[in-house]
């Protein structure tokens, strides 16, 4: 590993970066970056500036940038497999880790490392097979990752004599072992539960996204769908539930297996990653009532209001940070307009894009009435034959692992401490408010 371009570039970047963090801490540690209001303490710490990451930044109006690049820029600049429209996922890992756009040669080196490391240990398959078949695929996915914790080089390094400056190297080793296995695990879970337990062996000629599509048993251009999906879901700053959980768990010097398994558990919540399956469930409910035809605008408005009036949220709309249409939604919309514009479910999504924002505005609760990534992702999967919507969050989880692993490698490189915010009691807040 130490001879790879990825390792050498990352090592150089880490050496260059460390003095910046040390200087900020030592010379500017008392400078105020934010103030905290009671509303934020009670309200899920919304908006409090209290984390640092250089992997991605989420602007409320522009959306996500990976290492300073918008999603269209990432798609344009990263090397692509021959004849394919979307880039190697392995190239995104290189970019997120090092901040540099890799050459084709540099990407192919990572592709090769991933191929060498993707074989699943038999015991993980045994663990999955021992679980009841009606377990949620996310529960299976998270279990499989934590079951592999015995492979952790980071945990061995800790046991045998830990050195803070070197820790990132072992986190990187764990990442390079976990990441290639995730599409393999996901494909195994999918075919075990939904495809009669008949499995397709990996193709040694294919990259991360291409091999995933192959193992799921879906033809082109699903390989590009897989690449696009994993890339757009990779990172969204470090404050969202999955990324933050990964960072928090790793801050206790838990290894990458624990950290990724935990972050997947957070992603499995309906207000976070599970929203993609909820969107499909909601649309199918409307479709059943409509007897397969497209509702009129008025009919759709009524379905939306009925959902709101029954106390539920409209899945796929709103966001804790974003205040405009999620560019991850737009990327998928553009793909859909090219490949599936006549699909009935796409037309549902299109109609919802028109109908929901004004209704949420009229209701006046949601701070952001616009669609997020999850409003679109299910229908694309459905179109390509992945109709088992319990599985959708697993796809999100593969992508999100790329960002979380990049973040926790850098966490160790910069020696970030164990995370431990301070709690107050309600009495104390009342005193601060001057009402007690």
Binding residue count for ligand HAX, defined by CB under 6 A: 22
Nearer to ligand HAX, 295 or 318 (CB): 318
Closest CA to 419 of 262, 178, 297, 244: 244
Residue with tokens 């793909």: 335
Query: Are 58 and 64 spatial neighbours (Cβ–Cβ below 8 Å)?
Result: yes
Active-site option among 272, 326, 350, 411: 272
Does residue 133 touch ligand HAX according to CB under 6 A? no
Q: Which CB, 168 or 230, lies closer to ligand HAX? A: 230
Q: Among residues 81, 183, 295, 318, which is the contact residue for ligand HAX, using CB under 6 A?
A: 318
- Residue 268 is a binding residue for ligand HAX (CB under 6 A): no
Residue nearest to ligand HAX (CB): 318
Q: Minimum distance from CB of 373 to ligand HAX (Å)?
A: 6
Q: What radius of gyration do the chain's Cα atoms show? A: 22
Pick from 359, 280, 365, 375: nearest CA to 327: 375
Beta carbon nearer to ligand HAX, 41 or 414: 41
Per-residue mark of binding to ligand HAX, 282-311 (x: CB under 6 A): --------------------------x---
Instruction: Please identify which residue in 65, 115, 169, 319 interacts with ligand HAX, judged by CB under 6 A.
Output: 319
> Are the C-beta atoms of residues 86 and 213 closer than 8 Å to each other?
no
Question: What are the tokens at 310?
Answer: 């029954």
Going from the C-alpha of 302 to that of each of 287, 295, 306, the distances in angstroms are 13, 10, 6
Q: Is the separation of the CB atoms in 7 and 1 below 8 Å?
A: yes
CB nearer to ligand HAX: pick between 55 and 275: 275
> 409 with 97: CB under 8 angstroms?
yes
Distance of CA 97 to the CA centre of its chain: 15
Structure tokens at 109: 């080196």
Which among 162-170, 204-212, 268-276, 378-386 is the span making contact with ligand HAX, rule CB under 6 A? 268-276
Burial of 44 (0-12, 13-18, 19+ CB in 10 A): exposed
C-beta closer to ligand HAX: residue 80 or 319: 319
Active site residue 343: no
- What's the burial of 39, exposed, middle or buried (CB within 10 Å: 0-12/13-18/19+)? exposed
Check residue 406 for interaction with ligand HAX (CB under 6 A).
no
C-alpha–C-alpha distance, residues 325 and 353, integer Å: 9
- Closer Cβ to ligand HAX, 46 or 301, answer by number: 46
For residue 340, the Cα-to-chain-centroid distance in whole angstroms is 24
Would you give the binding string for ligand HAX spanning residues 364-393, x where CB under 6 A is met? -xxxx---xxx-------------------
- Interaction between residue 271 and ligand HAX (CB under 6 A): yes
* Least gap, CB of 105 to ligand HAX (angstroms): 34
CA-CA distance, 278 to 252, in Å (whole number)?
33
Helix (H, G, I), strand (E, B) or coil at 284: helix
Q: Which is nearer to ligand HAX, 215 or 232 (CB)?
A: 232
Is-catalytic flag, 272?
yes
Which range of residues in 52-60, 61-69, 93-101, 363-371 is near ligand HAX by CB under 6 A?
363-371
Q: Using CB under 6 A, pick the residue from 87, 316, 327, 357 that binds ligand HAX.
A: 316
User: Exactly one of 319, 350, 376, 411 is catalytic; which is it?
Assistant: 319
Q: Which is nearer to ligand HAX, 106 or 237 (CB)?
A: 237
Q: What are phi and psi of 388, to 5 degrees?
A: -90, 90
Least Cβ distance, residue 150 to ligand HAX (angstroms): 30
CB-count exposure of residue 311 (10 Å: 0-12, 13-18, 19+): exposed
For position 314 contacting ligand HAX by CB under 6 A, the verdict is yes
> Taking CB under 6 A as the rule, does residue 37 contact ligand HAX?
no
- Among residues 87, 84, 83, the alpha carbon closest in space to that of 75 is found at 87
Contact call for residue 320 and ligand HAX (CB under 6 A): yes
Q: How many whole angstroms separate alpha carbon 109 and alpha carbon 105? A: 6
Task: Report the interface residues with ligand HAX, using CB under 6 A.
Answer: 46, 240, 271-273, 275, 308, 313-320, 365-368, 372-374
Which positions are catalytic? Answer: 272, 319, 374
């Amino acid at each position: 590993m130490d001879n790879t371009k990825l390792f050498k570039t990352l090592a150089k970047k880490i050496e260059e970066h460390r003095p910046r963090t040390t200087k900020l801490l030592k010379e500017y540690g008392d400078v105020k970056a934010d103030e905290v209001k009671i509303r934020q303490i009670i309200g899920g710490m919304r908006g409090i500036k209290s984390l640092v990451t250089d992997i991605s930044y989420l602007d409320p109006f522009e959306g996500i940038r990976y290492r300073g690049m918008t999603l269209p820029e990432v798609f344009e600049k990263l090397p692509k497999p021959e004849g394919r429209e979307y880039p190697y996922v392995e190239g995104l890992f290189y970019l997120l880790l090092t901040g540099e756009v890799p050459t084709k040669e540099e990407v192919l080196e990572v592709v090769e490392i991933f191929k060498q490391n993707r074989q699943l240990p038999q015991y993980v398959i045994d663990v999955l097979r021992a679980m009841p078949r009606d377990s949620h695929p996310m529960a299976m996915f998270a279990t499989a990752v934590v079951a592999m914790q015995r492979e952790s080089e980071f945990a061995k390094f800790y046991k045998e004599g830990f050195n803070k400056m070197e820790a990132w190297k072992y986190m990187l080793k764990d990442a390079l072992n976990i990441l290639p296995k995730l599409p393999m695990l996901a494909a195994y879970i999918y075919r075990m539960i939904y495809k009669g337990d008949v499995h397709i062996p990996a193709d040694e000629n294919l990259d991360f996204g291409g091999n995933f599509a192959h193992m799921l048993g879906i033809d082109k251009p699903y390989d590009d769908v897989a690449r696009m999906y994993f890339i757009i879901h990779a990172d969204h700053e470090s404050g969202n539930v999955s990324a933050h959980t990964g960072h928090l768990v790793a801050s206790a010097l838990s290894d990458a297996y624990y950290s990724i398994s935990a972050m997947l558990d957070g992603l499995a919540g309906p207000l976070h990653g599970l929203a993609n399956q909820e969107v499909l469930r909601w649309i199918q409910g409307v479709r059943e009532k409509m007897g397969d035809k497209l509702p009129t605008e008025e009919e759709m408005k009524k379905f939306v209001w009925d959902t709101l009036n029954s106390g539920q949220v409209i899945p796929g709309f709103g966001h804790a940070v974003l205040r405009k249409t999620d560019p991850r939604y737009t990327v998928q919309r553009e793909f859909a307009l090219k490949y599936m514009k006549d699909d009935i479910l796409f037309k549902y999504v299109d109609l919802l894009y028109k109908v929901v924002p004004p209704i949420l505005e009229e209701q006046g609760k949601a701070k952001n009435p616009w669609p997020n990534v999850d409003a679109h992702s299910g229908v694309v999967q459905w179109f390509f034959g992945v109709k088992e919507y319990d599985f959708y969050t697993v796809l999100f989880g593969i992508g999100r692992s790329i960002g979380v692993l990049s973040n926790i490698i850098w966490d160790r490189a910069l020696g970030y401490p164990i995370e431990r915010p301070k709690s107050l009691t309600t009495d104390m807040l009342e005193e601060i408010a001057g009402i007690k």
